[in-house]
Amino acid sequence: MATPPSLCIEKLKQALDAAEIGQHPVEVHGTLVGLICGGVTQANNAWQKPLLELVNDGQSLDVNLQQLINELYQDTVTRLADFEFGFTILLPEEEVSLSHRVEALALWTQSFLTAIAVIQPKLNSSSKDVKEVIKDLAEIAQVEFDVADDEESEAAYTELQEFVKMAAILCYSEFGQEQAPNDDKAPKIH
């Protein structure tokens, strides 16, 4: 059974606070997902350098925090690569007020957009669908935090959250998956 997002967020928040890093856990996850969906090289922990540049001005992390982020990275890659594992956005659960959850979604989306823009040089020449979702994500990142705590607002938040999740998956399908070797270039055995 997977760790509930609230426990993961709290554990990561404690480690970020202990390391005196002013990032919210949802920002760290948004950055990780943006790097992965943007096609960061996964070999030899190449993702760590751009992550450190985005979340800690290029400085190394405390060992415990680095371990937590490594685990979060591996879990995220697994969930994005295999649809059966169910990719989810790391956000607070219902116990938190709707306005705080909306703010967390906006922070996650901002971090995702920043990371994908940094890592994906071909973003401007991407497919029409990806360009459209990037535009929509930019609008979601600017969403108003002061929302009513009612069923209609809750439903709208759920729709936004699902849209952001599907947008990340779309970006991953275009940029993030490591390409399989081209069969034409593979040596042939006769």
Tell me the per-residue pLDDT of 139-184, one tens digit each, with 9 for 90 and over. 999 887 778 888 999 999 999 999 999 999 999 999 986 543 333 3
Buried b (16+ CB within 10 A) or exposed e, 46-63: ebbebbbebbbeeeebee
Each domain of the chain, given as residue ranges in start order, spans 5-177
Looking at residues 53-59, what average pLDDT do you find?
93
Return the pLDDT at 143. 82
Structure tokens at 74: 């591996």
CA distance 54 to 44: 19
Confidence of residue 83 (pLDDT cuts 50, 70, 90): confident
Looking at residues 51-59, what average pLDDT do you find?
94
Residue among 6, 45, 40 nearest 26 (CA): 6
CB atoms near residue 72 (< 10 Å) = 19
Residue among 90, 118, 124, 97 nearest 3 (CA): 90
Residue with the larger pLDDT of the pair 35 and 184: 35
Q: Domain 5-177 belongs to what architecture?
A: Up-down Bundle (1.20)
Contact 47, 23 (CB under 8 A): no
Looking at residues 107-133, what average pLDDT do you find?
94
Return the pLDDT at 159. 94
- Residue 147 C-beta-side C-alpha neighbours within 13 Å: 19
Return the pLDDT at 84. 75
Structure tokens at 137: 């994500």
CA distance 52 to 176: 19
CA distance 16 to 28: 10
In the chain, the amino acid numbered 130 is: V
Q: What is the average pLDDT value for the chain, to the nearest integer? A: 86
